[in-house]
Structure 1
Amino acid sequence: MNDLEGLLEVARAAAAEGSRLLSTTGPGGVRAKGDRDFVTDLDVRIQSSVREYLGRVAPEIGFLGEELEPDEQEHDAPEYRWVLDPIDGTSNFIHGIPLCAVSLALAQNDVPILGVIAAPFLSLEYYASAGHGAFCNDHRIKTSHTQSVSNAIVSIGDYAVGDNAPAKNRQRLALTTALAAEVERVRMFGSAAIDLAWVAEGRTDACILLSNKPWDMSAGVVIARESGALVTDSDGRRHDVGSAHTVAAAPGIASALLDLVGTTLASVQG
């Protein structure tokens, strides 16, 4: 895969088609996947459309999508594969909240090497490829220069639903409390892709997501890294597919923020 920039253009075209459908089509049927976790007909339609396009243009590359059925999943991950969340922020979309996006990445051995996030209701397209910087609407973006957590806007991921939600939410609530005592403001957007993209753009200074699913994180991780953000697990180790959590922060506050996160999570676990 020598033509990374060419593949980025493929990804942008695929995400643009998904974005067009997202902005012009209603959700259709809505059904539960689990406890307070929903999928719409449009999620499935966007995934099918993007997958079909990528399969025609780059048939040698594998595919992982959030809404694939179990029998469609690849049991052995190929060296290269696309990773798609057709609608990141489905609950937002269902309720008419514009914080939702198509999130598409290309991963090599499960390491994201390019990513595109298209948020049509905000008229925003973010993209990046490894070693070539991060962009929003064709303008280069960089993280904020914030040097103090007291001046930082920090977004957090959704509270947990489903299995073991009470235990998971003890961590999330403790983290919310700790952040509220230290940072300028805490925000919850309901879309991991937007969380990471806005750190990359400097709209926010950090995001803390106590989860790590590839379709949620892959595109945003490469965009955030290419903007200069430090992207790690909550223990400070470099973020990868095996990480438990996802933390992205502007360099000036990363160390202090990770200290806060680590101390808070340790106190809950203890």
Structure 2
Amino acid sequence: MTNDARALLPVALEAAAIAGDLITTHLPGLVTAKGDRDMATEVDYAVERAVRDHLALRTPAVGFLGEESGADGRTGDGLQWVLDPVDGTVNFLHGLPLCGVSLALVRGDTAILGVIGLPFLGSLYAAAEGDGATVNDQPIKASGASTLDAALVSVGDYAVGDDAVERNRARHAITWRLASRVQRIRMFGSAAIDLVWVAEGKTDACLMLANKPWDTAAGVVIAKEAGALVTDLDGTPHTTRSSATIAAAPGILAEILELAREA
């Protein structure tokens, strides 16, 4: 099995097409509770099964980690596919178009390929390490923002589940600090969208105090390949083991990190 991410990009694009067809042609169906205000729909499970089966057929030696089914234990060539079948499930459940499939190829703790399909928006983002990033086959580039007062910044969802009140104190503090400095704040409800819109220059930064690989891995490589800087909260390069996910135009990253750490 090749370690060249570019060689596996067609496989990932095929998987995204399979997922997009299921997402756009099926209603959410039965909703399964996974925890406090956390759920999966029938479509989440159907997409994960279909994509997992496709990847197993096309790349049988590569491991697989899915949000709904976990890891399959394979570690061929040290590579693993990482899938969020429907990133933005709550949006999908409510009929909002801000949702899609997020698929990454990870080597060790670093994403080397990412594909994110937003089928209701007609957008397909892709990137392979060292090969740049695209949307619908057109190159994309992160913004050149250099001041916070002109920056549009998205923040990740607030926490739910155990200790949500305590964990949200920092999120509330960061939102408050950003509100006094940046042009506007947005919350899209999808980590994949947060990251690809930074990559595309639609937003100038995103800040998430979380880092689940299926949520972030694909978007991280797309943002990096588009010229954004992506780090953990302490400013170290982002990996699947990071505790937070911060992506920004290079000219404002330092100020974003300072505000986040102050909170």
TM-score range, shorter chain: over 0.9
1:121-142 Cα deviation digits (max 9, x unpaired):
0100000000000000111000
1:170 corresponding residue in structure 2:
169
Letter aligned with residue 60 of structure 2: P
Q: C-alpha displacement at 1:4, in angstroms?
A: 2.4
Secondary structure of 2:90 counterpart: helix
CA 1:182–1:77 in structure 2 vs 1: closer, same or farther (change >3 Å)? farther
Q: Helix, strand or coil: the match of 1:252?
A: coil
| Structure 2 counterpart of 1:160 | 159
CA contact (8 A) 2:62 2:75 kept: no
- Cα RMSD after superposing both structures: 1.1
Aligned to 1:267: none
Pair 1:184 & 2:200 matched: no
Shift of 1:77: 5.4
Match of residue 52 from structure 2: 51
Q: CA deviation at 1:75?
A: 5.6
For 1:124-143, list aligned pairs within 5 A.
Answer: 124-143=123-142
CA distance in 2, matches of 1:238, 1:3: 22
TM-score, normalised with respect to structure 2: 0.97
For 1:68 and 1:110, the matched residues in 2 are separated by 20
Give the equivalent residue in structure 2 for 1:37: 38
Q: Secondary structure at the match of 2:252?
A: helix
Residue-by-residue CA offset, 1:167-216 (whole Å, 9 max, x unaligned): 11101111110000000000000000000000000000000011000000
1:215 aligns with 214
Q: Check whether the contact 2:125–2:196 (CA below 8 A) recurs between aligned residues.
A: yes
Matches within 5 A, 1:24-173: 24-68=25-69, 73-74=71-72, 79-173=78-172
Whole-Å separation in 1 of the counterparts to 2:12 and 2:210: 25
| TM-score between the two structures when normalised by the length of structure 1 | 0.94
Provide structure 2 residue ranges, at least 5 long, that are not aligned to the other structure. none
One-letter amino acid of the structure 2 residue matched with residue 65 of structure 1: G
Does the 8 Å CA contact 2:100/2:116 hold for their aligned counterparts? yes
Moved more, 6-15 or 182-191: 6-15
Whether the 8 Å CA contact 2:199–2:222 is kept in 1: the answer is yes
Amino acid at match of 2:11: V
Task: Give 2:153's aligned amino acid.
Answer: V
1:251 is paired with a residue of what secondary structure? coil
Paired residue total: 261
Amino acid at match of 1:230: L
- Aligned partner of 1:17: which letter? I
